[in-house]
Structure 1
Amino acid sequence: MERAEAELFTDAGNDAVVRLPGRRFPGVLVQGDTLRIPSADVAELVELCAAGDLEEARHAASLLQDELGAMLQRTPMLSTPTESDTPSSRNHV
């Protein structure tokens, strides 16, 4: 195990926003028990799709999108990134 100091941008709750050394952008540290909730939501979504219940699947997907969107809104960008500057648009440290 390696110990490292991290910058904490929010309260140290179930989904704290932190930036690790050497990283340009902060990330969301989600506690394992909290991560089970969206994981269960995805499992429910898969079951609903398999059963052909698209109306309920859309509803479940919408709730999941809201939940993940709320986490994203807590993540401050240290600058105003361009599309080519965002973490998802390129492979960087």
Structure 2
Amino acid sequence: MKRVEAELFTDGGNDAVVRLPDRRFPGVLIQGDSLHILRSDLAEVVEACERGELAEARESAGLLMAGLDALLARYATALEEHGIPRPY
């Protein structure tokens, strides 16, 4: 394990925007339990597709995308507040 100092651009919640040393752009730190939930949500989409339940898959995918959109908006806002251009 290596200890480093990181820059924190948002509060330290489940999806903190941080920049590690030697990185040009910040990233999003997702806690392990939140990552597991994202993976489980995606698995629901895949399983619904495999069963041919496209309406259920579409609904689950929409919820997953809404969550990711919120995460991306939080990231973009943090960068804007600190005068950092988006990397995309």
Q: Normalising by the residue count of structure 2, what TM-score does the alignment of the two structures yield? A: 0.86
Name the counterpart of 1:49.
49
Aligned to 1:74, what secondary structure does the other structure show? helix
Q: What pairs up with 1:50-65 in 2 under 5 angstroms? A: 50-65=50-65
Does residue 38 of the first structure (1) align with residue 45 of the second (2)?
no
Shift of 1:36: 1.3
CA distance in 1, matches of 2:5, 2:74: 20
* Structure 1: 4+ residue segments shifted above 6 A: none
Q: What's 2:66 paired with? A: 66
Alignment coverage as a number of residue pairs: 82
1:8-23 map, 5 Å = 8-23=8-23
**Which segments of 5 or more consecutive residues in structure 2 lack a partner in the other structure?**
none
Structure 1 counterpart SS, 2:17: strand
- Aligned CA RMSD, in angstroms, stands at 1.2
How far is 1:9 from its partner? Answer: 0.6
Identity %: 59
Q: How does 1:21-32 map onto structure 2 within 5 Å?
A: 21-32=21-32
